Structures are given as structure tokens and as C-alpha cells.
Amino acid sequence: MTGEPVETRLIRAPRGAMDLAGLRLAADALVAGKLVAFPTETVYGLGANALDEEAVLSIYKVKGRPGDNPLIVHLAHTGLIPTVVADIPPMAVPLIERFMPGPLTLVMRRGPSIASAVSAGLDTVAVRCPSHPVAQAFLSMAGVPVAAPSANLSGRPSPTHARHVMEDMGGKIPFVIDGGACEVGLESTVLDVTGDVPVLLRPGAVTADQIREACGVTPRRSSGTAQGPVRSPGMKYRHYAPRATVLVGVGRSLAARARHTAELVQEEVAAGHRVGVFASARAILLIREMQKTAPEGEWPVRLISYGELDDSVQASARLFDAFRTLDASGVDRIVVQSLPEKGLGVAYMNRVHKASAHKTGE
Ligand code: TXA
Ligand code: MG
């Protein structure tokens, strides 16, 4: 793939009314070595034929992704897993049965078929079978394993709508398949099952508790900064980061989190900042009350609600869109309400922390 601009064709694939001819065109292009962005239930992926070294290398180029950060191989159904791995560890069997297709990625020993650039020099491969019907239709039509990272430019929030993909990839790749908003909104759980104990490399919608229930072993959390070989190279890179500085409203109770969120907004406005907010409806009510007592003039605050105080499902589904929307509105601070770190809240807070870290000195 050269750096020359290409015309990006948007293929519409709403649920139940897919443009099958369009999908076929995109699938043929992918098999022939082109890049195609497609929807999944987690986030949009930037796909390449995983059997084609050149095509896989072009993903790194287009995303601006470091060459030592490996890609996930996407398959149309779980029956294809043996075609890309050397073996399926016994521990993986109940996980595959219970959570695939779905938002779980398993790292296993790689087989010889896939391009070496997929694994970025590791002897393992990450495998995922998306549950999104458009992803499944597209992967079946392609008939090859598809290497795909999230379809954002490196360092930007993962795309959860086709318009996010167009922002980052428009003019760079020939096809974007629009399957609507991603239901989960956070990237898949990544679990390394090559050792005696499963290692959770990235939290996602499939939780550590669910993994323990399914395979009888409690997964170990990867520290990410441990000495020795890096098990998931992606963890050392800056991720999920909006341009604005992210501040987090915390507290013991849900109500305290909402109050702290509102207080942070007040402080940042007083310090002269333009502030974006992603918070519960309760916090947003508190912030609106403050606005009433604020001096006349412009109120430099942009509000986005995720709904109920404890709604980690909606908060997760909307987080990355909120980051992009608030960034585009020109704020220089984004205040995000925290959620308790249980269930999906673990993955949500992982992404919030990643977005709020690494900011000083940049
Ligand atoms: O939900 C998702 O997983 C989305 C959709 C498109 O499937 N994909 C995604 O890909 O988030 P990406 O490339 O943005 O993140 C993949 C993560 C990275 O942290 C990478 O380091 C890790 O998975 N990974 C990939 N292959 C690996 C391997 N062989 N060993 C360890 N970690 C691996
Ligand atoms: Mg990514």
C-alpha cells in the first residue's frame, strides 16, 4: 500500500438489510490484499488477509502502529481455530464453548499458515470470533483468516461508529463497512492460555470471574510492566487517549462520584478551561445547577450523559464516542465519572485510566 490517497467506499450493512453485493466487493478486495474496516460487537476492526504478509504489513503503515505490537486474527466461526493455532490447550476448550463467538480473544501458540507480521515476532497468535452478524457474514465471504487491530489511528480512541473509522481511515483504505454502533464499545478481553494459569492481558466484557467460572482457574492479571519478556506488547503503548487532559471523578459511593465529577468541572471552569463532561445524568443535573449560579456569559462546558449512576453497559458503549465528540468540540479538559471496578466496570475503568495517564509533559 502506498501513501497515495484512495477513494473510500462506505458499504451500508444495517442489521437485517446488509448490502450483500457491497460486502462481496469488500471481501474480494480483502482477499486480494486490500484493507477493509468492518464492524464487530466490540469496536471496528481494520482487516487484512492474515495469509498475506504484504497486506498485514500495510495495516501497521496505515495505522502508524509500532511493528512489535501483534494483531488479532478474526475467524468466521470457532471451527476454524485449529487452522491458525499449533494446538488448543485444554483450558481453552470451555472458554471457546462458553464465550466464542463473542468479546474474548485467546492467545495460543501460532500455527504455520498465518503471515509472520501478524504475530510481530512472537510464537503466539491472538484469535477471536466476533459475534456481530455483519462481521460473521464478511469473514465467511472472505474465507480467509483476517488480521485486524482496532480501526483507529495509533493513539486515538478505538472506533465504535463507522463515522469514527471514516475520520481516521477515510482516503487511506478502499472500504469501510458500516454496521452501526458497536454494542460493547470496548475492545475484547485478551487472555493468554499458553501457560498453566490463564493470564488476563486486557480486561473486556468477558470478566475474570466469568473466566474462572468457565475454566475453574482464576486468571492472573498481567502487570504489564513486569520484568522479563513482554507478554502483550500492546500494553506498553499509550492507548485510548483523547487530545484533552482527562480527569476522573471518584468517590466511595455512586452519589459521591457524581458530586466529585461536578466539583472537578467547577474547578476547571474557574481555572479558565473549556471542559467536556462524560458522566451520569445525576452528575449532569448537579453541573446544570452550578451553571445557574455562574456569572453571566459563556459557559464553556459540553455535557454528555451515559444515563443511570451505575450503568456500566451504557457508559462503556458510549465512552470512546464521547472522547471523540468532546475532543472535536475543542475542550482542553475532559472530566469522566468513575464506576466501581466490578463486572464490566473493570474494563471501563481500565480505558479511563489509560486515557487519563501519560498526560504531563506531552
Ligand atoms: O475487540 C477487539 O479486540 C478489537 C476488534 C477489532 O476485534 N481489536 C483490537 O485489536 O482491539 P488491537 O490490535 O487494537 O488490540 C490487540 C491487543 C493488543 O494489545 C496486542 O498487543 C494484543 O492484543 N495481542 C495481539 N496478539 C498478541 C499475542 N500474540 N500475544 C499477546 N498479545 C497480543
Ligand atoms: Mg487498538
For range 101-106, the mean pLDDT: 98
Burial class (CB in 10 A: 0-12, 13-18, 19+), 16: exposed
**Model confidence at 114: pLDDT above 50:** yes
Instruction: Return the higher-pLDDT residue of 228 and 298.
Output: 298
Sign of CA dihedral 250, 255, 258, 263: negative
Question: pLDDT (tens digit, 9 = 90+) per residue, 124-168?
Answer: 999 999 999 999 999 999 999 999 999 999 988 999 999 999 999
Please state whether the predicted TM-score (pTM) of the whole model is above 0.75: yes
Question: pLDDT (tens digit, 9 = 90+) per residue, 274-332?
Answer: 999 999 999 999 999 988 887 777 789 999 999 999 999 999 999 999 999 999 999 99
Question: pLDDT (tens digit, 9 = 90+) per residue, 254-274?
Answer: 999 999 999 999 999 999 999
Q: Is the CB of 194 under 6 A from ligand 1?
A: no
Q: Is the CB of 110 under 6 A from ligand 1?
A: no
Residues 6+ apart with CB under 8 A from 296: none
Question: pLDDT (tens digit, 9 = 90+) per residue, 230-246?
Answer: 556 655 555 666 789 99
Q: Is the CB of 118 under 6 A from ligand 1?
A: no
Alpha-helix residue ranges (DSSP H) falling in 184-234: 208-215
Amino acid letter, 337: Q
Give me the residues near ligand 2 (ion), CB cutoff below 5 Å.
Answer: 150
